[in-house]
Amino acid sequence: MSANLLLGQTLSYTGNPFVEGWQAVTRHNSRGGVLIRDGRIVALGDAEAMRIAHPDVRVTDYGDALISAGFVDAHMHYPQTAIIASWGKRLIDWLNTYTFPEESRFADQAHADEIAGRTMDLALAHGTTTLTSFCTVHPGSVDAYFSAAGARGMRVVGGKTCMDRVETTPATLRDTAQSAYDDSKRLLDKWHGQGRATYAITPRFSPTSTEAQLEALGALWAERPTALMQTHLSEQVDEIEWVLGIYPQARDYLDTYEKYGLLGGRGLYGHAIHLQDREIARLSEVGASVVHCPTSNTFIGSGLFDLRGLAVAKVKFGLATDTGGGSSFSMLRTMAAAYEIGQLRHASLHPAELMWMATEGSAQTLHMGGMIGHLGIGAEADITVLDLASTPAIAQRTARADSIWDALFPTIMMGDDRAIKAVWVAGQPMVSR
Ligand code: GUN
Ligand code: ZN
């Protein structure tokens, strides 16, 4: 494979800004270069020096656009792509009214294939190079997802959504404890580690599973400990009451997972807004990750994620769109929503922190730190190039900027897919504007 040298501004991280402070860990080069070969980043440096050192490579000069690691979406539902922005419901009613009927359509393999491909293309157009998705209860929805990602060379995480509780799950979306175990195991063994695919064991959330199903999936995770596990946790106050009604012995929501072997360092817990102190302590202790889904948390009316509090408690966190409960495919818009929620909590997130969450932070929740979401030597060459003047409104504001952060922040707050100048996946150009 030939080598490519990308020139522009470059932004990379040497550590976690929430731990070490953003000033200590950010590296910005206003005229930098990134050399990619065989799907990986092999050198970084000053543009002109790299041009001279590598005279025989193909050069793409992005001018003063910003070369970043590709965005990593740590929690989404590809089967909900077609129902994004559905009006007027809070979580439980939203699931019953819009989500479950749409997910039922994934019994049709052609529908699953179409939406999987559509979602990947929308993600790439928005600069997202890795998705972490719930599929539906149908095994074919998992095949559709990993096949669509494989066709595009994308590193993705996903798994069959498991749900078997009769009182809370429509018949069209119901499996059993045994079939969830059997299907998840077969799909895991088929896809996990195939190319760039990672399998996540996926109980939807405790209200739609029986104790027997949670136990079976906990057992599967113990048998296949390199797999990830994804679910939902403490998204809405009504939901928590519902969970504690169904599981009266549980100490709290997290306990409904912990009791059945579904709490661990490779676990991803979406939303995690209304947590008890015990839950925060346990998440931190086991090194589990929570995933902030800010556009969803405002759209569905769930609440204000306590990012600074969780950072202080040393809970790992990533950032995600939660499409289609989330209202945007864009991780830029998602960063903006995280900023707005921070403001409502009197914590102003710095642009360096926001970009870290959308790249390095999310990658770390997937145990892929240094591999993806990272503009550094040895990382896989999943790269997003941002035009920092993509609309007249942004351009006039950026013209006033006196630092890279001041130049980047208007794109974070006001940017969309028009700000995505180019996307590279595993060293291949996938999007170019
Ligand atoms: N909780 C259980 N399922 C879902 C889902 O599909 N979306 C959101 N936002 N929360 C959930
Ligand atoms: Zn979700």
| CATH number, residue 409 | 2.30.40.10
Closest CA to 283 of 255, 251, 249, 247: 255
Closest CA to 118 of 85, 91, 145: 145
* Domain match, 255 and 273 both: yes
- The SS3 assignment for 151 reads helix
DSSP state of 56: T
Asked which of 294, 309, 329 is the last residue of a domain, the reply is 329
Q: What share of the chain is helix, strand, coil (3-state, %, to 5)?
A: 45, 25, 30
DSSP state of 96: I
Sign of the CA dihedral running 263, 267, 273, 279? positive
* Domain match, 55 and 126 both: no
**Residue at 304 is within a domain:** yes
- Give the ligand at the shortest distance from the Cα of 240: 1
Task: Look at the block and give the residue holding tokens 């817990």.
Answer: 269
pLDDT at 1: 55
Residue nearest to atom 7 of ligand 1 (CA): 325
* Domain match, 212 and 134 both: yes
DSSP string, 172-229: GG---HHHHHHHHHHHHHHHTTSTTEEEEEEE--GGGS-HHHHHHHHHHHHHSTTSEE
* Domain match, 55 and 81 both: no
* Domain match, 48 and 110 both: no
Asked which of 329, 359, 386 is the last residue of a domain, the reply is 329
Which atom of ligand 1 is found nearest the CA of 326? 9
Which range marks the domain in which residue 151 is found? Answer: 71-329
Contact 172, 104 (CB under 8 A): yes
Residue nearest to atom 3 of ligand 1 (CA): 204
Please give the radius of gyration of the chain, using alpha carbons only, rounded to the nearest integer.
21
What is the whole-number distance in angstroms between the Cα of residue 297 and the centre of ligand 2? 10
> What does pLDDT average to in each consecutive run of 10 residues of the chain (433 residues)?
92 98 98 98 98 97 98 99 98 97 98 98 98 99 99 99 98 98 99 98 98 98 98 98 98 98 98 98 98 98 97 98 98 98 97 98 98 98 98 98 98 98 98 92
Closest CA to 140 of 162, 119, 110: 110
Task: Look at the block and give the residue holding tokens 């793409």.
Answer: 60
Contact 184, 159 (CB under 8 A): yes
Asked which of 276, 309, 329 is the last residue of a domain, the reply is 329
**Residue at 420 is within a domain:** yes
DSSP string, 277-328: HHHHHHHHHHT-EEEE-HHHHHHTT-----HHHHHHTT-EEEE---BTTBS-
Closest CA to 277 of 242, 245, 239, 315: 315
What is the whole-number distance in angstroms between the Cα of residue 402 and the centre of ligand 2? 38
Residues 262-278 as b/e (b if ≥16 CB within 10 A, e otherwise) read bbbebbbbbbbbbbeee
Q: Is the CB of 75 under 6 A from ligand 1?
A: no
What is the whole-number distance in angstroms between the Cα of residue 322 and the centre of ligand 1? 8
pLDDT at 109: 98
* Domain match, 19 and 104 both: no
Q: Is the CB of 204 under 6 A from ligand 1?
A: yes
Report how far residue 273's alpha carbon sits from residue 294's, in angstroms, rounded to the nearest whole number. Answer: 10
**Residue at 427 is within a domain:** yes
pLDDT at 2: 82
* Domain match, 221 and 211 both: yes
Contact 324, 134 (CB under 8 A): no
* Domain match, 256 and 383 both: no
**Residue at 363 is within a domain:** no
Torsion of CA 397, 420, 316, 116, to 10 degrees: 140
* Domain match, 63 and 118 both: no
Report how far residue 373's alpha carbon sits from residue 346's, in angstroms, rounded to the nearest whole number. Answer: 28
* Domain match, 87 and 38 both: no
Residue nearest to atom 1 of ligand 1 (CA): 232
How many beta carbons lie within 10 A of that of residue 58, not counting itself? 11
Structural domain count of the chain: 2
* Domain match, 46 and 122 both: no
Q: Which of 322, 328, 334 to mutate to test the pocket of ligand 1 (most atoms within 8 A of CB)?
A: 322
* Domain match, 77 and 107 both: yes
**Residue at 395 is within a domain:** yes
Residue nearest to atom 11 of ligand 1 (CA): 232
- Give the ligand at the shortest distance from the Cα of 76: 2
Report how far residue 386's alpha carbon sits from residue 389's, in angstroms, rounded to the nearest whole number. Answer: 9
- Give the ligand at the shortest distance from the Cα of 96: 1
- The SS3 assignment for 2 reads coil
Contact 362, 374 (CB under 8 A): no
C-alpha triplet 10, 293, 228: angle, nearest 5°:
85
The pair of three-digit structure tokens given for residue 33, joined into one six-digit string:
């270069």
Q: Is the CB of 296 under 6 A from ligand 1?
A: yes
At residue 136, φ and ψ (nearest 5 deg) are -105, -175
Report how far residue 274's alpha carbon sits from residue 242's, in angstroms, rounded to the nearest whole number. Answer: 14
**Residue at 253 is within a domain:** yes
pLDDT at 181: 99
Q: Is the CB of 398 under 6 A from ligand 1?
A: no
**Residue at 207 is within a domain:** yes
How many beta carbons lie within 10 A of that of residue 225, not counting itself? 10
Contact 227, 264 (CB under 8 A): no
**Residue at 110 is within a domain:** yes
Closest CA to 274 of 238, 312, 235: 235
Report how far residue 144's alpha carbon sits from residue 111's, in angstroms, rounded to the nearest whole number. Answer: 9
CATH number for the domain that contains residue 133: 3.20.20.140
What is the whole-number distance in angstroms between the Cα of residue 326 and the centre of ligand 1? 10
